[in-house]
Each structure stands twice: as C-alpha cells, then as structure tokens.
Structure 1
C-alpha cells in the first residue's frame, strides 16, 4: 500500500472518531461559507475605506505621505494585538460568538470615523484621534481571521478546508473591489464621509445576521450534545513554539503580508499619481476583480492536489510558490509600465497571484494543529500584522524621501523571495500538534 493510500485511511479514521455531528453537512457548510464570505467582504471594505479616501482626506486635512502612512499603519498596531487572543477565545468558546461580537465593534468604529475627524479644529489632534480609532478598528478586526480559522477547522472536513477557505478568502479582494469601485463613486458624488457610513451600516447588518446564525449553531450543538466544539484542553504553548514548522509558516506569512499590505494600501495612490487623468474607479476595481476567480481557483487547485496522489505538504508549497513568486515578479514590473492598460493588467496579476496564499500558508494552521488551529493562526497572524504597520509606514517614508515607486515594489519581490525559501525548506502540511 502506498503512502498516499495509507494517509487517506488514517485521515478517514481520524474523522470517523469525531462523531457524526462533528462536521457541517453540505447545506450547513454552504450557509456558513456564504455568510463568512459576506463578512470578510465587508471587513475588507471597512479596512480599505481609508486608502480609498486617503488622497481626498489628505487634501482636506493637509497631510503628506508620512502622515497618510501613519494613519493607515495605526490599524495594524491594534490588529497585531488581538490575534492570539482571538484564536484562544474562538478555540475555547466558539468562533461564531467571537465573530459576532467583533463585527459589532468594528462596524460601529467604521460608522463613526467621519465624526471623529472633526472633533477638534487642530489638524494634529484630528490626526491623533483618527490614528487612535484606527487602532481600535484593528483591535476588533484582529479577532476575525483567527476565529474564522477555528470555526472552519472544527466544522469542515480536511479534504474540503482549502476550497472553503479559498472561497471565503476571496472576500478580502471582493471587499477591496467593492469599496474601491462603489466607494470611489460614492466619494466622487457624495464625499468621503458617506463611504464610511455605508460600510459601517453594512457591517452592523451583517453582525445581526451573524448573531441569528450563531444561535442556530448553538442550538444544534445542544440538541446533538456536541460538546467537542468547545475545546476544554489547555493550549500547549511551549510545544507549539518548539516546532520548527511553525516558525517556517510564520516567516512565510510575515513576508507575504508585508507585500500584500503594501499593494493594498499603496496601489490606489500609485495609480492616482502615475496616471492622474484616468478614472480612480477603474484602477480600484480591475486588479481586485481579476483576483476573485483566482482565489477560488487556488482553493480548487489545492483541493484537487490533495485528492490526487500528492501530499498536503506539496499542495501547500506549490500554491505558495505561485503566490509569492508570481506576486513579487508582477509587483516589481508595475513601476516600469508606462501604459495605463498594461499597468492595470500587471497589478491585477500581482494581486491574483497572492490569492493562492489563502490555499497554502493561510490554511496551514488547520493542517499542523487542527485542535488548536485558532490559537496557531493567531500566533501566525500576529507576526503577519507587524509588516502591516511597519511596511506601510516605511513605504510612505521611502516615497516621501525619494519619490521612487520602483524601490517600494522591488522590495516586495525581495521580501517574497525570502519568505518562500524558508517555507519551501521547512514547511509541512502534516499534523505536528
């Protein structure tokens, strides 16, 4: 019997021991996948609202690029703080409960942001207040992905997790697309304030719907006497931190996020400055529109590889190769595009390639530590949030000092190359905890 067949038998046995009510059925999985896709879409719309409105706000409040980098980067100081806490709470009490509470907070913060901007007549005070509320936004949104990872890891079978995560994670780019496109139209016709109002209201509506679905989830657990969803085992922190594979996945995620957040936060400004006579709506929409089918395809591809004669480890590394090498190369080429249509295509390919990360490193905590996937993801995403504020800030610093987009986007390629090498050498898709 070959290793793949033996691996399949072991996986099937492990799932059979978990009981008939452990995993969602097809209808439940579809409902939760759609709900989490919508939530992730609104989450990223909230996150991207500031970059979309950045140029207009900078003109109104007299900010330079360092100021913009500081305000946008403040989000990640909060975002990095609650990753491990979010994973722990989700593993302990249920990801659905944490998601509902968190969305209520970040929805309210998004909706009141325009009011905060005018609390003082002093521009520096307003800058500090907006930065503080961006920290709070990050604190609440930092609970989202660890909770979602824990929820998926406990309720979706191993063979279907990469596809579910691929579909749900497409919401990150769908949110950037919607806020970049519709938000740009709202910005032009009604002003930047309404962008935050619309996104905030959508978040509060989703929080209410999520609370209703969560109640159904809790009722199903009680009716089936399914207490396994709430993990009562203590998290083995020392064992987790002693595993080299964990540090490899952390390194890859750190580097990928450094590149992703630079693209997310600075692509709108790049297109507005390089092609000032083109519509911002188009450049905010096209790259993210291209990435949505790429994210779903990445999930499908990873699932097909796992179901074939290849290992989970190979599937994760292959998809990560596409994510980091592809996005790095295309990002590096972007400043050399003098034609607007070519720049749109290259930016779209860069963003599309990075979506394969969702079917590789992003789902890897569920492979290596399924029982504590939320906590492991929290550790990984804490490291991944650090380049969010440092990378975005230093990109703004470089642009203010040199005005060189080539330097910024070449650093994306170099960073990706380092992270990819570490993951290829030491990463794994096998359970280690």
Structure 2
C-alpha cells in the first residue's frame, strides 16, 4: 500500500490501482485456486469425452471392419486396402499442431465440437461417395480423398482433449482422466466391431457408416449444450484467454525430453495402427469360418479394464511419493514391451482361441500408453499442452499411413504375417529404450 493506492506487480509493468480495485486481486487468486473442474463437472466431462472418443474411433474403424466386404464389391487387393485405410493418416498428421494451438487459445471444448461435426458428416456421406461413379478406380481415389478429410478433422480431437483436461484437472488426476477418456478408443473399436459387424451382415457395409455418423451428430449436440451451460465452460474460457501469449516454439523444439517422447509415441503408434487396421483382415484370413463380430470385439473388450487400470495405477504410483517420471516410464514399459511381445507371438498361434487371447493381450498392453506418454505433454508443458501434444501426435500419425501401407504391401507381396508382427516388437523396443533413457515427467517449459 502506498498512500491511497495499491501497487500491482506483474511481469511487464508496475501499475497503480485505487483501493476499490484491490478486491480484484482476491478475485484473481480465487479464480486461480478454483480453476479446476469440480468433482461433478469432472465426472460429467470425463464421461462426455469418453463417449466422444468412442464415436471417433468407431468412425475410424468403420473402414477396416467393412474392408473385406468393400474389397469384394469393388475388386480391391490388399495394397488397395492399405492405400485407402492409410490415406486417413495423411490428413490426421496435418492438423495436430493446429488443433492443439487453437484449443489452447479458444478452448478445447469448442474445438472438439467443430471437429466432430465435420468428421461425423464425412463418415455419414461415405457410402454416397463410394457409389458416385461406376469406375472402381475413381471410387478408390474419391474414398482416399475423403479419408484424408476425415483425418484432417479427427486430428484435432486428441490435442483439444489434452488441452481441455490439462487446464481443468489437477496434475495427480490427469493420468486417470486421460486413461478413462482414452479407453473410448478401444471401446469404439469394440462397438464398431460388434454392432458394426451385425449391421454389416444385416444391412450391408453402408449401414455401418450411417450408424456411426448419426452417433457423431448426437454427441455434438450434447457436448455443445454441456459446453454452454456448465460452469466448467466459463472456467475453460477464462483460462484460454490467459493463455493467449505466444507459444515458445523454438524453446519447445529445443528440449531433448520432448524428442524422446516423440520417438516413443511414433513407435507405439506404429504398433497400434497395424493392430487396429489389420487385425480384422488377419482373423478373416486365418480363421475364415469364425464370426467377424467375435474377433472384432473380444480383443478390444479385453482392453477396456486395462486402460482404466493403467490410469489408476499411474495415479497411485504418484500418490505413494514416486516421481511422475518414474510413473510414466513404468507404465510405458508395460505398454510397449507387452504389446510388442504379444504381437510377435500372434502369427504363431495355431488355434482360434489362443489367437484371440494373444491379440487381446497385445491390445490390452498398448492401452497403458494412454496413462504414459499420452499424458506426458501435460507434464512437461502444462500451459502449452495442446500445442505440444499436437507436435507429438503429428509424428505419431506418420506410421499411420506409412506403417499401414507397408503392412499391406508386404502382405500383398508375400502374405507373411510373421514379418508384419515381428516388426511391431522391434519397433516398440527401440522406442521404449529411447524414452527410458531421456524422457521425463517433470515440467520443462
């Protein structure tokens, strides 16, 4: 207090305010202390984000689930399938940084709704696009183009969700929140694999895309209303306004710890996308007499509890006073080594039941990634978590088109599943070693 004025210190200037403005300081402090969601708001948002991620992955998996039927109808080989499915990731890689940057500035909730409205529309109209022309080559090109567009807008989902959670959930609870919401990825694969397979058999492959598209529209309406009416919406807006300072890109890219996380995320995604895109075809070829809804459901059903357990385990490791760095590396070891090991064993399974179990274990292990490196941007750069996650997931999208296409090329040339799944193990070991050596769970930006 100086005379009748209060001195307000900030990083840019010394400003004098009258005593009646002093209450503003208290309001700022209270806002900072109460910036996280309340428990009820957190539960509501986690459930909403879980459902949104579920529908997102149902949309993404619709093509692999329908691939055998579409290949038969349009005369595609495995290389064609790999091209169409891989086109998604060209778009997916292009909007990660943009999506995270915009989410940090205008709010992850708003970006999630904008993106979902668009990718939901693309999903819904996919059958119309497929039947526009009789020339199957033109159909292949058009579907590839729309898969790129689908990827463009789905690429904004995870960076926006990361930004939203980082700004509204306390540090020790973030891994659990991300573990639960990211479980939607496997639940979406399960949902589309199960219900989608039933729709596929009864109404043909177009019905799968119609169903998922309508679900996306419903989620957009719900999440937009939630975003407008809940107090968490206001908190997110206020935090977003505070974060409108320039992102220190040069500083971010100079951090070796981030590059270690990027390398590991790249390797983990290479494994995940191969499993996601090619498991339906693997089971269809190896066990042609088995029901598609079973092998499209069981591996992903097995993975649901492990994703939630991974978040719970990470949270409890931190609560018993282990470092965040230890927690992230321990969880990531389970994810990458376990997934790689079981994927490598999969082609050696001679009977259907053992193949289902091993595939389920491979998918289950990779869900620990949701509570490991996937949370890491919130650890190392909480203020810029959306932008940092966008950088990391841009690199993580590359094996989507490269790995999925190469797997299709190998299979079309040799039909050798052992080569494809052994590469999953080798890739994971390399990525894990890099993260264990140089990764961190501490704030560096």
If the length of structure 1 is used for normalisation, what is the TM-score? 0.95
Task: Give yes or no for contact 1:78–1:137 (8 Å, CA) kept in 2.
Answer: yes
Q: Mind listing any 5+ residue stretches in structure 1 that lack a counterpart?
A: 1-15
Task: Give yes or no for contact 1:44–1:175 (8 Å, CA) kept in 2.
Answer: yes
Judging changes above 3 Å, is the alpha-carbon distance between structure 1 residues 137 and 225 closer, same or farther for their aligned structure 2 residues?
closer
Aligned partner of 1:255 in structure 2 is 267
Judging changes above 3 Å, is the alpha-carbon distance between structure 1 residues 111 and 430 closer, same or farther for their aligned structure 2 residues?
same
Runs ≥4 in structure 1, deviation > 6 angstroms?
none
One of 48, 53, 56 as aligned partner of 1:35: 48
Aligned partner of 1:147 in structure 2 is 160
Aligned partner of 1:298 in structure 2 is 310
Aligned partner of 2:131 in structure 1 is 118
Q: Mind listing any 5+ residue stretches in structure 2 that lack a counterpart?
A: 1-28
One of 154, 166, 189 as aligned partner of 1:176: 189
Aligned partner of 2:296 in structure 1 is 284
User: 1:316-342: CA deviations, max 9, x gaps?
Assistant: 000000000000000000000011000
Aligned partner of 1:13 in structure 2 is none
What is the aligned length? 416
User: For 1:126 and 1:302, how far apart are their aligned partners in 2?
Assistant: 46
Q: Aligned pair 1:264/2:280, yes or no? A: no
CA apart distance, 1:228: 2.5
Q: Map 1:120-135 to 2 at 5 A.
A: 120-135=133-148
User: For 1:108 and 1:169, how far apart are their aligned partners in 2?
Assistant: 22
Aligned partner of 1:244 in structure 2 is 256
One of 98, 111, 118 as aligned partner of 1:105: 118
Aligned partner of 1:227 in structure 2 is 238
User: 224-233 or 54-63: which moved more?
Assistant: 224-233
User: For 2:221 and 2:82, how far apart are their aligned partners in 1?
Assistant: 33
User: For 1:344 and 1:296, how far apart are their aligned partners in 2?
Assistant: 21
Q: Aligned pair 1:432/2:433, yes or no? A: no
One of 85, 96, 100 as aligned partner of 1:87: 100
User: 1:48-76: CA deviations, max 9, x gaps?
Assistant: 00000000000000000000000000000
Q: Aligned pair 1:75/2:74, yes or no? A: no
User: For 2:282 and 2:363, how far apart are their aligned partners in 1?
Assistant: 14
Aligned partner of 1:309 in structure 2 is 321
Judging changes above 3 Å, is the alpha-carbon distance between structure 1 residues 287 and 399 closer, same or farther for their aligned structure 2 residues?
same
User: 1:151-187: CA deviations, max 9, x gaps?
Assistant: 0000000010000100000000000000001100110
CA apart distance, 1:418: 0.4
Judging changes above 3 Å, is the alpha-carbon distance between structure 1 residues 220 and 378 closer, same or farther for their aligned structure 2 residues?
closer
Judging changes above 3 Å, is the alpha-carbon distance between structure 1 residues 18 and 355 closer, same or farther for their aligned structure 2 residues?
farther
One of 34, 48, 55 as aligned partner of 2:68: 55
User: For 2:236 and 2:66, how far apart are their aligned partners in 1?
Assistant: 49
Task: Give yes or no for contact 2:37–2:232 (8 Å, CA) kept in 1.
Answer: no
CA apart distance, 1:210: 1.0
Q: Aligned pair 1:213/2:237, yes or no? A: no
Task: Give yes or no for contact 1:22–1:226 (8 Å, CA) kept in 2.
Answer: no
If the length of structure 2 is used for normalisation, what is the TM-score? 0.92
CA apart distance, 1:226: 6.6
Aligned partner of 1:423 in structure 2 is 435
CA apart distance, 1:408: 0.1
